[in-house]
Chains A and B, each alone.
Chain A
Amino acid sequence: DAGITQSPRHKVTETGTPVTLRCHQTENHRYMYWYRQDPGHGLRLIHYSYGVKDTDKGEVSDGYSVSRSKTEDFLLTLESATSSQTSVYFCATLGASGSGGEQYFGPGTRLTVT
């Protein structure tokens, strides 16, 4: 257990509203990731961070932004939520730099956009 919490765990919101999901870690891990998981798909990478204020886009970044002002927190924002963003969102961290490291995943946030 890498001490990763996600909040909220469940959220229902309306189309067009902004939504922010929070990932908090207590392990001082440098790397952090946001994924989404939809039925019939594996996890898909949205954005990731290599450190404070150092973020980059993943394969499904459209409609999402992220911020990392502190090592322990990685925020994912849906600027204007759409029904296609209904999904389960997972945060992950990676402690060791370089290839071959183990990612630790949070419990997930189930987001429903109506």
Chain B
Amino acid sequence: DAKTTQPNSMESNEEEPVHLPCNHSTISGTDYIHWYRQLPSQGPEYVIHGLTSNVNNRMASLAIAEDRKSSTLILHRATLRDAAVYYCILESSGDKLTFGTGTRLAVRP
């Protein structure tokens, strides 16, 4: 499966935008880009996914580079409840996800 690379940790101030980067230089043409997050002591939860075009939903936006070798998850206004581990995942083998170690986001009040 294609791999992703994310920073181990990031910090943000409350109510400011957060841009979480993900590199996936070996992505294939049919791989979906998924983002999940895991709050402390909880199971992961879906955030957003996309294939080629940028995507927006109520939680976040996903910006996908034109060559698809990188993507950025954008939280428009970080809150304390957004403190979590964020996983960027490539779905390359039909219905199965391969998690990496993700980015731990800390939000400062």
| A residues apposed to B, CB below 8 Å | 31, 33, 35, 40-45, 48, 50, 58-59, 90, 92, 94, 97-108
Contact = CB atoms under 8 A, between A and B. Distances in A.
Interface of B: 30, 32, 36, 41-46, 49, 51, 87, 91, 94-102
A31 B95 contact: yes
Nearest to B101: A42
Given A99-B91, A100-B49, A42 B96 contact: no
Contact of B43 (A31, A99, A105): A105
B49 A103 contact: no
A107 B43 contact: yes
Contacts of A97: 95
Contacts of A41: 101
A40 B98 CA distance: 15
B99 A42 contact: yes
Given A43-B44, A102-B46, 18 more contacts: A33-B96, A42-B102, A44-B99, A45-B97, A50-B95, A90-B44, A97-B95, A99-B91, A99-B94, A99-B95, A100-B51, A103-B46, A103-B97, A104-B46, A105-B45, A107-B42, A107-B43, A108-B41
